[in-house]
Amino acid sequence: MTTHPVAAPEPIAGAAGLFTLDPALAHLNHGSYGAVPIEVQQEQDRLRADQEADPDGFLRAAPEWLGQARATVARWLGADEQGLALLSNVTEAVAVVLDSIPFRPGEEILVLDHGYGVVNRAAERRAAECGARVRTVVLPLTGGDPAEVVLAAVGPRTRLAVLDRVTSPTAREIATAPLLRALAERGVLTAVDAAHGPGMLDADLDVGRPDFWFGNLHKWAFAPRPTAVLVVRPEWRERIRPLTYSWEHGRGFPLNVEWRGTADYTGWLAAPGALALLDRLGLARVRDHNARLAAYGQQVLGEVAGLAALPASPGVAMRALRLPPQVAETEEQALALMTAVHERLGARVAVRPWTGGGVLRISAQVYNRAEEYQALAAGLDRLLSRPPATSRSA
Ligand SMILES: Cc1ncc(COP(=O)(O)O)c(C=O)c1O
């Protein structure tokens, strides 16, 4: 039997039973969409029932309740309550931020090639509107210090850098406090895409002082989908331009961003219950468990012929591995591999196309077990010796 230097953590007693996940599948992709614990689902169901008992009363009271939910979320993240808005997701948050910055012709927005596709596309769209430019910083997959590469890309016209707290395809921490400070010293605005921040890592809002910080609560903080936050520094709050014009427009940030007329706010109102559950389980214990299990999973998968572990950030509950050449270099091949892993190995993983061999990402959450990664490794060993056919490669 192979011995592993990184031991799998002890499971957290009772944690797996908190979810309604299909036991026939290994859910090794918490990072993409999260999973909502049963008690949080029930809280949202209760709120929906209250709403249907008296829609008029519920929606009239909702702005005040949102204020209470916002205050709880802000306290939990260590954010200033006046500077935090609830919104749907990072996709929305980045659009709000980009729309609020009056870029001048010729100015540059820095984005990362490891950045999330939609975030980078939003930057392209906004830049085109303003006559600005997007500069994509190419980070090495292995080796090199991402902070140095980002700083080397800063030029005299760089207005904004959009940096991931943790990158989606490669699970790397980029927007660290020293990098944010160095950018601020160079007069560059910073927007942190912390889609994978809340629940997994500290918000670091005081340490790095980014101008804009947005993160999902529906990934690692157990909130119902879609729930996210946008945190804005004081000097930008009055300049924030909500995507929708609503009755609360005149109330200014944050309610002008939160309120979008008649809508279902029950997920946001249930978010404080999700945070309370994480606290009850023990946030530090959950983080430690998840990060160690992800490291264990990467180690086991790294033994599969053709898979190579990519650099990891210790506290992150996701890990990435490079696939062999030609396995997932195109979107189509990456999708084919994810489908094959699901249908033939009974597991959910994330695969992103990458030139020279795609990138496979695993996640770890309290409901996962060491055996799931072992089974995935055994299955991938078989699968990669006969890669799934795609119409292009067939
Ligand atoms: C780094 C990163 N940014 C943005 C997003 C988009 O999140 P959402 O679909 O919730 O807007 C994701 C989703 O996985 C992500 O990983």
Nearest-atom index, ligand 1, CA of 115 = 1
CA of 377 from ligand 1 middle (Å) equals 26
| pLDDT higher than 80, residue 354 | yes
Is the distance from CB of 337 to CB of 380 less than 8 angstroms? no
Tell me the pairing of strands 158-164 and 189-193: parallel
Tell me the pairing of strands 318-322 and 359-363: antiparallel
pLDDT score recorded for residue 259 = 97
Is the distance from CB of 319 to CB of 168 less than 8 angstroms? no
CA of 44 from ligand 1 middle (Å) equals 22
pLDDT digits (tens, 9 = 90+) for 198-231: 999 988 887 778 999 999 999 999 999 999 999 9
Q: Enter the DSSP assignment of 191.
A: E
Domain boundaries, the chain: 16-28+282-385, 39-277
| pLDDT higher than 80, residue 85 | yes
- pTM of the full predicted structure? 0.96
Please name the residues in contact with 173: beta carbons below 8 A apart, sequence gap of 6 or more.
Answer: 165, 166, 201, 313, 315, 316
Closest Cα partner for 168 from 194, 147, 149? 194
The mean pLDDT value for 2-12 works out to 86
* CA dist., res. 18 & res. 37, Å (int): 5
Nearest-atom index, ligand 1, CA of 164 = 1
| pLDDT higher than 60, residue 394 | no
From the CB of 227, is ligand 1 less than 6 Å away?
Answer: no
CA of 195 from ligand 1 middle (Å) equals 5
Region of poorest pLDDT, from 90-104, 193-207, 224-238: 193-207
From the options 3.40.50.1820, 3.30.420.40, 3.80.10.10, 3.40.640.10, give the CATH code of 39-277.
Answer: 3.40.640.10
Nearest-atom index, ligand 1, CA of 218 = 10
From the CB of 168, is ligand 1 less than 6 Å away?
Answer: yes
| pLDDT higher than 60, residue 243 | yes
Region of poorest pLDDT, from 54-58, 200-204, 348-352: 200-204
pLDDT score recorded for residue 96 = 98
Closest Cα partner for 221 from 81, 348, 365, 88? 365
Cα dihedral across residues 366, 337, 356, 386: positive or negative: positive
Q: Which fold is adopted by the domain 16-28+282-385?
A: Aspartate Aminotransferase, domain 1 (3.90.1150)
Nearest-atom index, ligand 1, CA of 216 = 10
Closest Cα partner for 385 from 304, 299, 315, 328? 304
| pLDDT higher than 50, residue 106 | yes
| pLDDT higher than 90, residue 333 | yes
Total residue count of the chain as it appears in this document = 394
Cα dihedral across residues 339, 340, 343, 349: positive or negative: negative
Q: Which has more pLDDT, 144 or 76?
A: 76
| pLDDT higher than 60, residue 392 | no
CA of 229 from ligand 1 middle (Å) equals 12
Helix (H) or strand (E) holding 318: strand 318-322
| φ/ψ (deg, to 5) at 216 | -85, 140
Closest Cα partner for 293 from 59, 3, 12? 12
pLDDT score recorded for residue 387 = 60
Q: Enter the DSSP assignment of 41.
A: H
| pLDDT higher than 90, residue 100 | yes
Grouping H, G, I as helix, E, B as strand and the rest as coil, residue 362 is: strand
The half-sphere exposure of 227 on its side-chain side, counting CA atoms within 13 A, is: 32
